[in-house]
A and B are shown apart, each in its own frame.
Chain A
Amino acid sequence: QSVLTQPPSVSGAPGQRVTISCTGSSSNIGAAYDVHWYKQLPGTPPKLLIYGNRNRPSGVPDRFSGSKSGTSASLAITGLQPEDEADYYCQSYDSSLRSWVFGGGTKLTVL
């Protein structure tokens, strides 16, 4: 099991809004460590989507937003588009493990 828990899959129709949760604990997200999010298409490296909990790198559409509260973080995608279909990963630091840790990943299907 991953230290950060994500739902294995989510789905939504084009134009809809979906959220992906990332649940941690007091030794990672709850300890105020930043959460970053990545999008990965099959056969390609991950791409940075959100950094520092809620910041978008240049070029990432504002349809993508991140938030954090307590021991959890969330990625929201509005106006779902077919090209959003991918795997999404959250990342944070865990002080007990003394390691950067990733969530297990969530496969987003656009219906």
Chain B
Amino acid sequence: EDQVTQSPEALRLQEGESSSLNCSYTVSGLRGLFWYRQDPGKGPEFLFTLYSAGEEKEKERLKATLTKKESFLHITAPKPEDSATYLCAVRSTDSWGKFQFGAGTQVVVTP
């Protein structure tokens, strides 16, 4: 069965202190890795899709990268408004339909 593990569970950063979140996955065949941001009490907000190892995507202070076993979400010079839970999900060849989510990394950025 597909598995997605995110680390760390929680991360506290000072404003401007860059860091990376990890998403490790085990799938039979990857058909997409997806990053989302979720604010408390709201639905996840789509950020990126990555399909193949070596691929990178950027949006403002966020950059996502993908290898054959894991993905990283790099947060460069974070601001307090980057505080959120970041979720990683995979779609695999075992189940073309569903997104299998990890538990998320809760990020708090303090001024």
A and B: bona fide binding partners = no
Partner-B contacts on A (CB < 8 A): none
